[in-house]
Amino acid sequence: MTKWPIINDSPKPLRQYPIVDTTVNTPMKAIPLQNIPTFHGLTSEDPVAFHFEFDVLCRGYYYTTDPQKLKLFPSTLEGAALHWFMGLSGGTINDWEQRKTSFLKKYQDYCQTRELKDEIFQMVAKPNEALEEYVEHFQYNLQRSPYENMPDNVLKNTMIKGMKDQWVETMNIMGKGDIYQEYYGNIIDFCIMCSRGSTRLKPARHDAIIIDSKASGGSITRVEIGNLLEYFKTDILGTLMTQLDIMQAKRKQVEAEQNLAIFCPH
């Protein structure tokens, strides 16, 4: 009598997802793929710098809760890093700090940290980077470097050197003088003030409300319309105040040049 092999037709158990999904229907905003940082797990990559860029992205798009960050994070991984993440035991990650600790434990010693001194002195503002974001990025790299106690004049010159020309010009006008003559700490405060008072390069809050409404397929409620009007009013007032400050500074600059011309005729 022929013995036939026993075939097990029972389905294989599906691998569980590493992240525990504790929140149903977490609101997620539409983020362009080109704005999402990626990590491959290469030795040339810096996991700490990658985490900083991811945190900046989350703040820019109002991803403030653990479930939002946890759902977005896997989309940043590629190659070996994605294989490592999907190979974790199912249901082992319950919150953001736990995931961050697991990630850094895996890659912080494996990946090579870039030369921090060169990173500070070679910083240049990115095309779509806002002034406040650039300053925050500079301070972050400064804290990671062994040169946090550099002389004040070296710090401010290094930071200003990487700024966009229009930023420096605006601060010179609003500061009624050469920004290079200010102390480093004063320049930091002035950068934040100028950035928050000017038109932002990143999506505004009222833009995010519209995106959310379109993504959900619903209409905008009366409350959301009221919030939109408040955000528009705040943005318009902030922009008008900035323009008035610039106009006043320019008028004073012209008056000073005219007065100087009396004593120094061409």
The pLDDT of residue 14: 53
The model's pTM: 0.44
- Check residue 195 and give its pLDDT: 75
Dist CA 162 CA 155 (whole Å): 11
What local confidence, expressed as pLDDT, does residue 77 receive?
Answer: 93
Residue 21 pLDDT greater than 50, yes or no: yes
Going by C-alpha positions, the residue among 201, 35, 220 that lies closest to residue 133 is: 201
* Residue labelled with tokens 């999402």: 36
Which tokens belong to 207?
A: 């833009």
Task: Kindly report which listed range (13-22, 66-75, 174-183) carries the lowest average pLDDT score.
Answer: 13-22
**Residue 200 pLDDT class (50, 70, 90 cuts):** very low
Q: Please say whether the beta carbons of 112 and 44 come within 8 A.
A: yes
The whole-number pLDDT of residue 116 equals: 55
What pLDDT was estimated at residue 199? 39
Q: Which residue type sits at 69?
A: K
Cβ neighbors of 175 (< 8 A, separation 6 or more) are: 182, 190
Quote the mean pLDDT of the chain.
74
For residue 73, give Cα distances in angstroms to 7, 76, 106, 193: 40, 6, 16, 31
The residue with greater pLDDT, 105 or 252, is 105
Q: Does residue 134 surpass a pLDDT of 50?
A: yes
Query: In this structure, are residues 206 and 228 in contact, taking their beta carbons and an 8 Å threshold?
Result: yes
Whether 101 shows a pLDDT value over 70: the answer reads yes
CA atoms of 70 and 67, how far apart (whole Å):
5
For 203-251, what is each residue's pLDDT tens digit? 444 445 444 554 455 555 666 666 666 666 666 656 656 666 666 656 6
Banded pLDDT at 202 (limits 50, 70, 90): very low
Higher-confidence residue: 255 or 93? Answer: 93
What is the rounded CA–CA span in Å between residue 157 and residue 120?
A: 11
Task: Report pLDDT digits (tens) over 33-90.
Answer: 888 899 998 888 888 888 888 888 888 888 888 888 988 999 999 999 999 998 888 8
pLDDT of amino acid 40: 92
Segment 162-177 shows an average pLDDT of 81
**pLDDT the model gives residue 31:** 85
